[in-house]
Structure 1
């Protein structure tokens, strides 16, 4: 007897399509991918929080990352202080290339944490997400806080077709450690509900996408609370959606697992602004995932 469809089946179906029909392509990392173009998933947030259960997702780290984006910071130091290591490989590669010092990953992170001047010089990622979200520079030297403008627009003009922000600043892409993958977010208010559409130009389906879904859904919840709305739907769209070839075995393992009930989110307080949330403000109940599946990041 077939089981009822679970929202997570959309993600599992995507993994299967990539393995069965993905175009084999070489990429900038040299690892190679199986890729599809133009994929979509939709998640009704009243049905549970889209935190994958067919493998354990370290969502607390993703939570720190989202709050880091919203702070406008672009340096890995506060991430490392909270045991978030996913951004280290890019500044480490730059340090090794420019200094020719074969420093280890752990030693580099220790220096960033212990030496403020070293962190300022080598821990910065350039004008990545937080810079563009909070301090987009205009031609005349002004800085635009896209997120503050978004909150104000949702409150004052909820039927606007301009409820969006983007990280794809063409003039600054070359100075970024990594151009934004989750690049444009748009929002829609109807019947007292706030829905969000997240467009990714590139999606690492095995490693990045679970975090992207988590962060996209969480941002809808936060915006909805701040604007006195109810969370509606998360719509995810991907351009180049890919599975690295060194993740195929891990994806097959995940596909053998059945989804479990999704957790629920409770926000324990309403801060004065979107920028005043702390990790401790978010409570996820009922998260009972299958074990973590290890896979290497392609840099």
Structure 2
């Protein structure tokens, strides 16, 4: 069975059985009809995935690997805040009349900063350090920029990546590991989407830096299930997990800026039916 399914089932069961219910409290999100969107939540959820063993895509329902890769590249490669540069419509609710989401996500990745070695944006700095200073303990990104929060249409949820390089015994290649810090995670709508995105990112960066992939650690401050999602989650986690798919990344690409969403595939990806019409709180 897929290890990602086991992690997801255990996390959801723990949230529902032992989480904090926010019903009756003052909450910011609302449903389309204007009613408060309450949650059951757990603080400080940490999930670990060994990417050298399998790719962490759920089989309980399908995760659209090309679409989540497209959003990842929109942020990390295009460094864009323009929804017209996305193939999906997942950001439409947070875009203004010009299709912009403010100084959020990709915008922050494109801001250049001064270092001793010169001017870099955050992505180029990560790639530079992985190639030139792989054992540095300072290889990280952060897009939760307080001075710009008032100009962001949505505060960043997944806001920081920390990269750490190790070397396995009897291996002639370095191993790339990463930690994603997330302040908030909608477990049904976005959990495995984010997991797959940053697993893809680690595979891409490892390939262009001539490394192998290691562990991906997902740290969530507030992991929550919305009240209207609970029945959907209960149905989902009753399903029998299937074998994990194999991950394929175009081996010809050696430049991070050359990857496209078509350079990733999940081979042998068998899943249960999709859960449709998931309501999204805004």
TM over 0.5, shorter chain: yes
Aligned residue for 1:116? none
Q: Does 1:254 align with 2:254?
A: no
- Partner residue of 1:23? 20
Structure 1, gaps ≥5 residues long: 95-120
- Count, aligned residues: 262
Does structure 2 retain, via aligned residues, the 8 Å contact 1:49–1:217? yes
- After TM superposition, the structure 1 = structure 2 runs for residues 97-246 of structure 1, keeping only pairs within 5 Å, are 121-135=97-111, 144-191=120-167, 192-246=174-228
Q: Which runs of 5+ in 2 are unaligned?
A: 30-35, 168-173
Is residue 109–residue 143 contact of structure 2 (8 Å, CA) maintained in 1?
Answer: yes
Residue in 2 aligned with 1:47?
Answer: 53
TM-score of the aligned structures, taking structure 2 as reference length: 0.88
Q: Distance in 1 between matches of 2:112 and 2:189?
A: 28
Match of 2:64 among 50, 58, 61: 58
Q: Secondary structure at the match of 2:247?
A: strand
Tell me, what secondary structure is at the counterpart of 1:184? strand
Alpha-carbon distance between aligned partners in 1 of 2:72 and 2:146, rounded to the nearest angstrom: 22
1:296 is the counterpart of 2:276: no
**Structure 1 residues 143 and 177: CA distance shift in structure 2, 3 A:** farther
> Secondary structure, in 3 states, of the residue corresponding to 2:3?
coil
- Given that residues 225 and 270 in structure 1 are in contact (C-alpha distance below 8 angstroms), is that contact kept between their aligned partners in structure 2? no
Post-superposition offset of 1:47: 1.8
Contact 2:3–2:56, Cα closer than 8 Å, also in 1: no
Secondary structure at the counterpart of residue 223 of structure 1 = helix
Cα deviations across residues 153-205 of structure 1 (Å, max 9, x unaligned)?
A: 01111111101101111111111111110011011111111011111010111
> How far 1:270 moved relative to its partner?
3.6
DSSP 3-state at the match of 2:40? strand
Q: TM-score, normalised by structure 1?
A: 0.83
Runs of 4+, deviation exceeding 6 Å: none
